[in-house]
Amino acid sequence: MNLQDSCIIRHFNHFCRLSDDDKKLLLRLEESPGHVKAGSVLWQEEDPASEFCTLSRGWAYSYRNLGDGSRQILEIYLPGDIIGLREFAFSQRLAGVAMIDDGVICHFPHRRLLDIFNQSTTLTAILFAISSRQQALLTERLVNLARRTAHQKLAHFIYEMYLRLLQTGALSDGDFRLPLSQEQLADTLGLSAVHVSRTFSAFREQGLVLRERHHVTLPDPEALARVAEFDDCYLNDSVRPIFFDGTEAAMRMSNAHSGDEGPVPK
């Protein structure tokens, strides 16, 4: 496999230019990339946890099933994301993971993470940063669920997806594929599917969001951000390219907050 074909290496390169040694180390950790079908379950809650995955193509989500038959979707994974970091300290899965689309994933076993810790400080720091960013996404979703109205929840979610897709460069205008059903959106936002439908209807009448099957257009993304009271600092900072490079990262981290301007106009 060519070094540039690795989905892990591509993902890590978002944070920092890697040395060839680091690239080789990453590549050795990678096993059995494979195709998975839409709807297939990578693992379920309480399965033994022994590996991570990198999502190379397609969308996925993690979820928890509840006693009353409902479920909660915890996070949406896009191409390039690492899945399963959550369970590093656990022997069991805390959440299930399923594919939304057809896709491609790469597996690498839990225990080999220690090889990384042993051999590359740079990669260790990047892993920590990735975990840190995932936690930031989770925190923002928590606030969204706890404190906002149905309109704000949906607006916030759609705008977050819009920004994340912008960052991966897969997008230029307010027009993109959103392969989630309304029921999946409801499970993500702690709403009923019926109410998601109503909210979309309201957005359509206001010209905020137009949804057609699995496609979404945002005539005025900024208006949507205002409805959601969106604050994008939890998405901006962490993906700054070339964030770490050995010991100099320390200096950058402690004074990088001067003179910021985010990619999104206020």
Per-residue exposure over 17-49, b if at least 16 CB sit within 10 Å of its own CB, e if not: ebeeebbebbeebbeebeebeeeeebbeeeeeb
Task: Tell whether residue 97 is a contact of its own copies (CB under 8 A).
Answer: no
Binding mask 141-180 for DNA (x = CB under 7 A): --------xxx-----------------------------
Residues 160 and 141: their CA atoms lie apart, in Å, by 10
Task: Tell whether residue 181 is a contact of DNA (CB under 7 A).
Answer: yes
* Among 6, 54, 56, 134, interactor with its own copies by CB under 8 A: 134
Using CB distances below 5 to 8 A depending on partner kind, what does residue 149 bind out of its own copies, DNA, none?
DNA
Residues 33 and 143: their CA atoms lie apart, in Å, by 35
Tokens of 165: 């897709």
Window 2-31: residues binding its own copies (CB under 8 A) = none
Applying CB under 8 A, the span of 35-43, 171-179, 208-216, 249-257 interacting with its own copies comes to 249-257
Amino acid (one-letter) located at 206: Q
Task: Tell whether residue 111 is a contact of its own copies (CB under 8 A).
Answer: yes
* Among 16, 29, 36, 49, interactor with its own copies by CB under 8 A: 49
* Cβ–Cβ < 8 Å for 58, 79: yes
Task: Tell whether residue 82 is a contact of its own copies (CB under 8 A).
Answer: no
Q: CA angle 2-108-95, nearest 5°?
A: 135
Task: Tell whether residue 190 is a contact of DNA (CB under 7 A).
Answer: yes
Crossing angle of helices 121-147 and 20-28, rounded to 10°:
70
**DSSP at 49:** -
Chain residues binding its own copies by CB under 8 A are 46, 48-50, 64, 66-67, 70, 72, 74, 85-92, 94-95, 109-114, 117-118, 121, 124-125, 127-136, 138-139, 141-143, 145-147, 189-190, 229, 233-234, 237-238, 243, 247, 249-251, 253-257, 260
